[in-house]
Amino acid sequence: MISCLSLSSYSFCEKIALRKYRRCVKRDCIKRPQVLSAAKKDGFGLRVFVLSDLHTDYPENMAWVKNLSTKRHDKDVLLVAGDVAETYDNFVLTMSLLKERFEYVFFVPGNHDLWSRWETEDIDSLEKLNKLLDACKQLGVETNPMIIDGLGIIPLFSWYHESFDKEDDITGVRIPSLDLACKDFHACKWPESLSKRDTSLSLYFDMMNEKNQHTVKQIQRTCSQIITFSHFVPRQELCPEKRMLFYPNLPKIIGSDWLEDRIRSIHGVESSSFGCHVFGHTHFCWDAIVDGIRYVQAPLAYPRERKRRMNGGQAWLPFCIYADGDFAAKVMPCYWSDYYDVNPRTPSNTQLAPWVARFYKLI
């Protein structure tokens, strides 16, 4: 329920949308749609757009969502790869706005979505996850695999673990600990059986995908083209080398080995041009093919990042990944994946890049 929402800060149209949502929750009249086909738009086939890291707790980002056309995407599909908002109220409003603009919206949770430090209820992060999934169900936002016009779409739950990082650490400088650098360690609350410092969280979230295995197998049998998507990173190669990062220990809090294993079990070990995985979390725009699978990240990111042109995007989002029966061409400005298209990855080089070195003192 969203009874905790205050309508005073919202526009007239937003108040109407939220009141409608409340009535539907009360009457339990919103049902999950059986998505089997999508209507054609202006004679064209199905279009799928992707977006991650909306962070609409920032007013500038919420304004960006509100400014999306209410007509341009009314027959399209949107995949939201996590980090919608930190607060439940902003999450519900954001997803309501997106559902009004797109015919179908799919979602997987990110780490910021599960922060519980500002919630009005005393709940842990798993309880908040269930609360968000319930809200998605009421709004008609999809969190389970489905087939639309012959295209398989598979959301994948995931969480990161430190052992995901297999590359050499940066030494000789004082790097803040994960506890100091990563707010998840304080903003997320987990049951005692789950630890933020081992693989238990990553395994727990990966096992959440098991309930959909029957549907996934059906998609594999019937669909020649499949899009999977997650919030977290499935391969370390999808992040710049440590010496390039302002926080060199970032790879310890971004990805999951089990996520990549699951992706390969769906698309195939070698895969082909018919497989694509969308992710988020690091805020680095990315579009690259690795071992036969296309990996794409299209983040809105923080306002300050867009202003510095560091990462994230705005004018070209949401990014169209699939249109009229085929995957769309690469058009995003992806600095780092473009860099690695022409430069080899050298993780054994632990000398900090000049723009990073100036922030660290030698030990």
Cα separation, 250 vs 258, in Å, equals 18
How many CB atoms lie under 10 A from the CB of residue 323?
16
pLDDT tens, residue by residue, 18-32: 554 444 444 443 333
What are the tens digits of pLDDT across the range 40-74?
555 468 999 999 999 999 999 999 999 999 999 99
- Chain segment 100-147, per-residue pLDDT in tens: 999 999 999 999 999 998 877 889 999 999 999 999 999 999 999 999
Q: Read off the tokens for 103.
A: 């015919």
d(CA 163, CA 197): 10
Give the pLDDT of residue 115.
97
Q: How far, in Å, CA of 64 to CA of 296, rounded?
A: 21
33 has pLDDT over 80: no
The strand pair at 77-80 and 104-107 is best described as parallel
Would you state the structure tokens that stand for residue 44, as one six-digit string? 């064209």
State the Cα–Cα distance between residues 26 and 87, nearest whole angstrom: 21
Task: Enumerate residues 6+ apart whose C-beta is below 8 A from 305.
Answer: 283, 311, 312
The answer, yes or no, to whether the previous bond of 318 is cis (omega within 30 of 0) is yes
**Distance (Å, rounded) from C-alpha 292 to C-alpha 235?**
13
Which of these ranges, 5-19, 36-50, 142-156, 273-287, has the smallest mean pLDDT?
5-19
Q: Hey, what are 261's tokens?
A: 């294993």
| Cα–Cα distance list, 59 to 36, 62, 217, 249, 254 (Å) | 36, 5, 41, 29, 26
HEC sequence for the chain: CCCCCCHHHCCHHHHHHHHHHHHHHHHCCCCCCCCCCCCCECCECCEEEEEECCCCCCHHHHHHHHCCCCCCCCCCEEEECCCCCCCHHHHHHHHHHHHHHCCEEEECCCCHHHCCCCCCCCCCHHHHHHHHHHHHHHHCCECCCEEECCEEEEECCCCCCHHHCCCCCCCCECCCCHHHHCCHHHHCCCCCCCCCCCCHHHHHHHHHHHHHHHHHHHHHHHCCEEEEECCCECCHHHCCCHHHCCCCCHHHHCECHHHHHHHHHHHCCCCCCCEEEEECCCCCCEEEEECCEEEEECECCCHHHHHCCCCCCCCCCCEEEEECCEECCCCCCCHHHHHHHHCCCCCCCCCCCHHHHCCCCEC
Least confident piece of the model among 72-86, 114-128, 281-295: 114-128
Is the separation of the CB atoms in 255 and 232 below 8 Å? yes
- Residue 340 CA to its chain's centroid (Å): 22
List, for residues 168-177, the tens digit of each pLDDT value.
Answer: 999 999 999 9
Beta bridge partners of 151: 148, 225
Q: What is the rounded average pLDDT of the residues 241-256?
A: 97
Which amino acid makes up residue 100? E
Q: Is the predicted pLDDT of residue 311 greater than 90, yes or no?
A: no
Predicted confidence at residue 44, as pLDDT, reads 61
Integer Cα distance of 138 and 32 in angstroms: 8
pLDDT band at 361 (very low <50, low <70, confident <90, very high): confident
Q: How confident is the model at residue 333 (pLDDT cuts 50, 70, 90)?
A: confident
What is the pTM (predicted TM-score) of this model? 0.88
| CB contact at 8 A, 132 and 91 | yes
Q: What are phi and psi of 123, to 5 degrees?
A: -125, 155
Q: Kindly report the CA angle at 51 between 294 and 267, in degrees rounded to 5?
A: 30
Q: What does the chain come to in residues?
A: 363
The pLDDT of residue 105 is 98
Q: Is the pLDDT of residue 209 over 70?
A: yes
Cβ atoms 124, 191 nearer than 8 A: yes
